[in-house]
Chain A
């Protein structure tokens, strides 16, 4: 009932529903999704949406006041790539190498404590990617904490089609015909060929085919379904972009693209953001020549860069990744955009989340100090205007 009521309320413009309760949040510091800091800001929330964000000013009459004058307020973070809720070893369907119709949403364990942990570290939206052991491993799901009592809920079971370049799909395949595991791809070339073949086949198939996989590939060919392509080293990123151009595919992001900064011009002109791997781990996997400051370099090169906890990033805190990128030279604003606004764009949800702006969802986090400083700890998290984690600071003082 409550949920229906809430969604009804949020559907109505504030003017039509004058009786909708307005919450006024007084923020000591507001660090917004664009990376800018405003002191003593006022955030007005109603019906789960943000009514206004003002640099201070008078409190509206009758508003419920949340006094966060000694706290930092930010939009809830967005983790645009993780394997939360997919049991380890259960993230890729390895029956075939091209599995467009496999959906992460169908196997998602929403009771996985990893979701709660993510929420406790300030994350409000999570994109769960199927594993990377297939060339095309299926559909990514988006989870938000808008369920009952702030439980995680799948809000989009088909957010993007997930593919992988590089060595990951080769893993486990053996090139000797005598083996039970004999299967393409066994090389990077094979990976690319299988990707191509999938889309050739989709193009060649009859228009009224019932094959769900082909229908999904056609959605991608028509530009209605974006792709997320795992491409770590420079040449994989180039390959991914070439393939996208060849089939006129829309790439939402190249994933774990540590070497994105080496192909900055290309990514910029293709308008493809990079969803970077965690900053705290030095990885030389998959022929990557990783620099400590790959995130800083990507941002400095003008690539819209997001940071994700990534597949197998269980236990990593997203803000800690941004913090590390900041320490390693990424500008603070860019580091914060990398976990808010940029991933929101990658998920195609920039009109709803990623920053605190009029009309967006009231997804916000209250921190005890600067999230980038030694005191930055999550106090509470709101999702869609509802408190879903932690304790709201006392609201007595302001409400008189």
Chain B
């Protein structure tokens, strides 16, 4: 894991390296847990009837039929009497959970979402309620270079204990308010171009010094990668083709430009498509890219010429073209945007296959974040992140019964005041619903 940070962040970062493991050990004690359910969706193979997932030290040790997996005496076992167990969901991108999604300035590649995340925001409680085990918090679309995101578990008292990984993905956009497109492109080009020039100058200097030293028969100076001040490292990584960017695309032009730019500098591109970005599917297919979609899963669009309303579901468009995509949600007063599996059901209604809809909340976002070896499916060695649902994932009546993050139960519907208010216990008894104890 490469740890580098802004000037002010430097010390915090180093501390985080040292403290992360210790803090984790204290807050998320290494957990052993077994979860048994009538149906286990591994998302890497066929569903398992009467399945069991065994977690040791926060990692998945075994997944299989309950008859074939032995649970050690010392391991606590949760039995879900009715319902489904699947991998905890992964939110590919959100700007919620921070005090503010964007800086005021246009070019702030050095900004870190880590510095803006507020662990006590109700957003993280909501994440647990709706089944997210991992959340990528990244600056919003109102900066040209918005800074880098952080992958967190929506649980824990501090940013240190929440951190899952630091893929250091840069937020890029051409939709800075008050800035025209040409100016936005210029600003982005200038920022990257200046950095490229600076790097090549530095490289030449180093080369010359080395040659000089060699000519004098001296020992050449040590090559330092850290010649750049911390505030420039995020950008330097992109220019060197080592970084990754989430590019907010509000139109097809943005997407075309983003693809060109990523090829020029060699960085990895993940387009975050807004709903005004039309006809993206063929481009994405050709470029072999996966995309992150907007929380508004279906909508009406007005044809500028005829005024006709066109029903659109970008997820279905990408699905038909065979482009992988990640679905996202938004915590707010619109309930139709809040539940990820509800989003998946809406995608299915629009023609997406149930498998692709579930992948869009698990395996695809895990891959997009480069964490496919840890998240997204239930396989040996991956993180013990489980979502215990009261029913089929796409069923309207399914709710999160429990959420397990790295072997620890971090959400229990029976203890969620909000859902207890909506589904009072006495009502659950009479209707016979409510899963295991």
Contact = CB atoms under 8 A, between A and B. Distances in A.
Interface of A: 113-114, 116-117, 120, 279-283, 291-293, 296, 315, 320, 323-324, 326-329, 372-377
B46 interface: no
B247 interface: no
Give the size range of B's interface with the partner: 20 to 34
B349 interface: yes
B186 interface: no
A326 B396 contact: yes
B422 A279 contact: no
Interface of B: 299-300, 302, 307-309, 311, 333-336, 342, 344-346, 348-350, 354, 394-397, 418, 421-423, 427
A389 to B, nearest CB: 12
Given A373-B345, A375-B349, 9 more contacts: A117-B311, A279-B335, A280-B336, A281-B334, A282-B333, A282-B335, A291-B421, A292-B335, A373-B395
A113 B397 contact: no
Nearest to B350: A377
B422 A291 contact: yes
Given A113-B307, A120-B311, A374-B348, A324 B300 contact: no
A320 B418 CA distance: 22
B396 A373 contact: yes
B206 to A, nearest CB: 58
Contacts of A279: 335
A296 B333 CA distance: 18
A375 B348 contact: yes
B219 to A, nearest CB: 68
A342 B48 CA distance: 43
A329 B335 contact: no
B393 to A, nearest CB: 9
B335 to A, nearest CB: 5
Give the 5 A-B CB pairs with smallest separation, nearest first: A374-B345, A113-B309, A374-B394, A374-B348, A282-B333
B334 A113 contact: no
A116 B311 CA distance: 11
A281 B338 CA distance: 11
Contacts of A116: 309
B423 A329 contact: yes
B422 A329 contact: yes
B309 A117 contact: yes
B299 A315 contact: yes
Contact of A280 (B308, B335, B418): B335
A41 to B, nearest CB: 23
Contacts of B422: 291-293, 296, 328-329
Nearest to A328: B422
B210 to A, nearest CB: 63
A386 B302 CA distance: 28
A376 B311 CA distance: 16
A327 B423 contact: no
B342 A280 contact: no
B435 to A, nearest CB: 16
Q: Among the interface residues B307, B346, B349, which one has the most CB atoms of the partner chain A within 10 A? A: B349
Contacts of A377: 349-350
Nearest to B352: A374
B348 A323 contact: no
- Which has the most chain A C-beta neighbours within 10 Å: B300, B396, B422? B396
